[in-house]
Structure 1
């Protein structure tokens, strides 16, 4: 994934008041930098100067909250003093502000592409309306001077918009997106050993499956290798699990099984299809005799539990299966759909975020020796913030303490409406 200014992948200048210059208060208030949102990666990197590598020294890496200090509004921030005679402009200092955390220390030498901090909204940014995570990039001639045009370092114009492209090259943060029109693949043990450095597409990785006969929950034999390879090479888009749940409780257990193995913050699809087809064409998998209503209820239970665990849930199946075996369209009213149909004239009325349209030839995808499913992103997948790693929590509304299920329901509702933990209620996680 290419670096776009201070982030890798796509970036956004979201609001007019986030631009550099007299952009606030109806043109009466000065904004000395440019506010940039990393859409595919939250790590802030040392930028290039119009493609040229530059170097410098970290002269400040700290949090400032004292309002008598002129930098108080920046919260966590990094200041880099550039080495001399690298650029033709007057800039000598780069400020990276409103960070959630810092990845460098004072006195450290840095160069273009080095990780500096993590995007946040500390300091004044926490009071923005609406609040949003971003990096305030400011460039100055002197450490205490007025900001000067930062666009040659920002890598974007001083205009509201989305810039950069991560559609085909992946991302390194949780839940990196793939833009509409991008080709993606899905992989499991059936693809064997994959050379992820050569793979040109982002991928859905199978976490595991429930045995169609035994009912045992099993990790995909290549999951660990595929997770490490896809994530390490910026190709991880999300996950899927082959379900053979016959009850809602089993479906919830499948989602919990996934959460123990895979990082949250990514899409997680409930894979619903025939469990086993005999030589005579009959289906005898443990879930194959479920009614449409039963299988739909299992999918719903899986998706609801996956969402509680911090994933963006969805449903995968194929067109003919939707007719009598699962209410795919109904489920897609709430969650993203992923539909397989290799016909040229497939049913376009069925909703979908992802369309599985073909298989490659053996070795048709670089880095993979086998056949591989090919998919097209029809609509960019929604993202969900990654929650804390624990899954149980209690919430105290003095003098009442809610049990786990009610606590989770309250937490999700509070999060939806922006009610802050420890301000309006107290939540703690328990093992």
Structure 2
């Protein structure tokens, strides 16, 4: 399994109070590290620094039982002093705490990937409510100093969620979480503002655009160009979605065609079906909000069918209460992948889904993004895209001597409509 921070496979930051910083007692109590649960493997490993191998020496490997000792709360713990000049930050000491047992001894040299201990709940973690096994990872500049941000070593963000994947790769995860089963992904639009994609640790679904819930105009998301370039350029583009307000099947097909003019094919493209606008009184007055369940389902079906014709892998996004009363989500998911939002602890697990939207990060909780951001979990592997395996560029020349000028131009415009005039694999041009 791939190593994600200090564990192999999937890891979890389970509770808000397990995050680093002023996260306890309503923001009044400091928590100097981050509490991480290994979901697939209980062994704690020496981490990488953002994918880079690091080394150090075990300076403590012991249990503290004396309550007057400031480290009593840690129970069994390992402290590693890093070798000098390996990382650009101030961190020199790594603490792995609340262990069930230790796998190293004082004075031992260790490097990234070496087993250090076994996850537990020793020390005052045994009194936690609810009690749960985890590792408190703390990073410090000095042995007795205050904890500093541990996320570059933890392989996770300082946000509640599940990270990593339970695949069979032995390569370190680095600071980017992939899109395998169990991975966390995000979705972004203009509401996330300017994004520093080089820092974002997740794959992303990017909003292409929306239909105005009042005017009905087809609009490109104001940050789409920047998000497409940033996500794709940094290897974090997973797919797209479009906020629909179609009231007819023809409008839904037009929405899919609008997307095809702006986004490259070969990616997932989700029909976003939900309320268009909610007034202060709680009423819904979006242009598509009065559609019957059958009408909205027909629009979603038309969007997905047209998206597939245009080279995308279509899917349907909505939220639980909407899925059961306003659209035949389960029926649509018999053909296409579903993406369902439900932030409740005891959410409906019967409805099918490939992606589950389970929470929203704190403001600035996702590195590279200053706002709140939706957090999603891959539940089932998304269908493979039918892409050419060898990127062979073809030039389609349309000679007006062979074809009448009008017919040649029509053919060219059709190729341009489907992105073949400037696609990764195909290129069409009009030769006059």
Q: CA deviation at 1:324?
A: 1.6
Q: CA deviation at 1:178?
A: 1.6
For the pair 1:88 / 2:93, whether they are aligned, the reply is: no
5+ residue gaps in structure 2? none
Mapped contact 1:394–1:407 kept (Cα < 8 A): no
Q: CA deviation at 1:343?
A: 0.3
- Structure 2 distance, partners of 1:421, 1:67, is 68
Q: CA deviation at 1:217?
A: 0.4
Task: Return closer, same or farther for 1:29/1:243 CA change in 2, 3 Å cut-off.
Answer: closer
Task: Return closer, same or farther for 1:10/1:65 CA change in 2, 3 Å cut-off.
Answer: same
Give the length in aligned residue pairs.
429
Mapped contact 2:209–2:242 kept (Cα < 8 A): yes
- Structure 1 distance, partners of 2:430, 2:71, is 35
Task: Return closer, same or farther for 1:308/1:427 CA change in 2, 3 Å cut-off.
Answer: farther
Deviations 1:55-83 (Å, cap 9, x if unpaired)?
99999999999999999999999999999
Task: Return closer, same or farther for 1:82/1:412 CA change in 2, 3 Å cut-off.
Answer: farther
Task: Return closer, same or farther for 1:205/1:8 CA change in 2, 3 Å cut-off.
Answer: farther
Q: Does the residue aligned with 1:356 lie in a helix, a strand or coil?
A: strand
- Structure 1 distance, partners of 2:75, 2:397, is 29
Q: CA deviation at 1:189?
A: 0.2
Mapped contact 2:22–2:29 kept (Cα < 8 A): yes
Q: Does the residue aligned with 1:259 lie in a helix, a strand or coil?
A: helix
The more displaced of 234-243 and 2-11 is 2-11
Task: Return closer, same or farther for 1:226/1:9 CA change in 2, 3 Å cut-off.
Answer: farther
- Structure 2 distance, partners of 1:23, 1:289, is 43
The alignment's TM-score, normalised by the length of structure 1, stands at 0.52
Task: Return closer, same or farther for 1:84/1:376 CA change in 2, 3 Å cut-off.
Answer: closer
- Structure 2 distance, partners of 1:107, 1:147, is 23
Q: CA deviation at 1:386?
A: 3.7
Q: Does the residue aligned with 1:254 lie in a helix, a strand or coil?
A: helix
Task: Return closer, same or farther for 1:144/1:244 CA change in 2, 3 Å cut-off.
Answer: closer
Task: Return closer, same or farther for 1:358/1:90 CA change in 2, 3 Å cut-off.
Answer: closer
Mapped contact 2:412–2:429 kept (Cα < 8 A): no
Mapped contact 2:392–2:425 kept (Cα < 8 A): no
Q: How well do the aligned residues superpose, as a CA RMSD in angstroms?
A: 18.6
Task: Return closer, same or farther for 1:276/1:58 CA change in 2, 3 Å cut-off.
Answer: same
Deviations 1:309-364 (Å, cap 9, x if unpaired)?
11110000000001220000000000000000000000000000000000000000
Mapped contact 2:247–2:287 kept (Cα < 8 A): yes
- Structure 2 distance, partners of 1:26, 1:203, is 31
Q: CA deviation at 1:168?
A: 14
Q: CA deviation at 1:257?
A: 0.5
The alignment's TM-score, normalised by the length of structure 2, stands at 0.52
Mapped contact 1:292–1:325 kept (Cα < 8 A): yes
The ranges of structure 1 where at least 4 consecutive aligned residues each deviate by more than 3 angstroms after the TM superposition are 1-169, 172-177, 386-431
- Structure 1 distance, partners of 2:263, 2:65, is 37
Deviations 1:202-236 (Å, cap 9, x if unpaired)?
00000000000000000000000000100111110
Task: Return closer, same or farther for 1:14/1:248 CA change in 2, 3 Å cut-off.
Answer: same
Q: CA deviation at 1:384?
A: 2.4
Mapped contact 2:211–2:246 kept (Cα < 8 A): yes
Q: CA deviation at 1:385?
A: 1.6
Q: CA deviation at 1:181?
A: 0.1
- Structure 2 distance, partners of 1:96, 1:402, is 72
- Structure 1 distance, partners of 2:256, 2:78, is 40
The more displaced of 333-342 and 105-114 is 105-114
The more displaced of 37-46 and 418-427 is 37-46
- Structure 2 distance, partners of 1:3, 1:351, is 29
Task: Return closer, same or farther for 1:352/1:174 CA change in 2, 3 Å cut-off.
Answer: farther
Deviations 1:174-207 (Å, cap 9, x if unpaired)?
9997210000000000000000011010000000
Q: Which has the larger radius of gyration?
A: 2
Deviations 1:292-313 (Å, cap 9, x if unpaired)?
0000000000000100111110
Mapped contact 1:392–1:404 kept (Cα < 8 A): no
- Structure 1 distance, partners of 2:283, 2:228, is 34
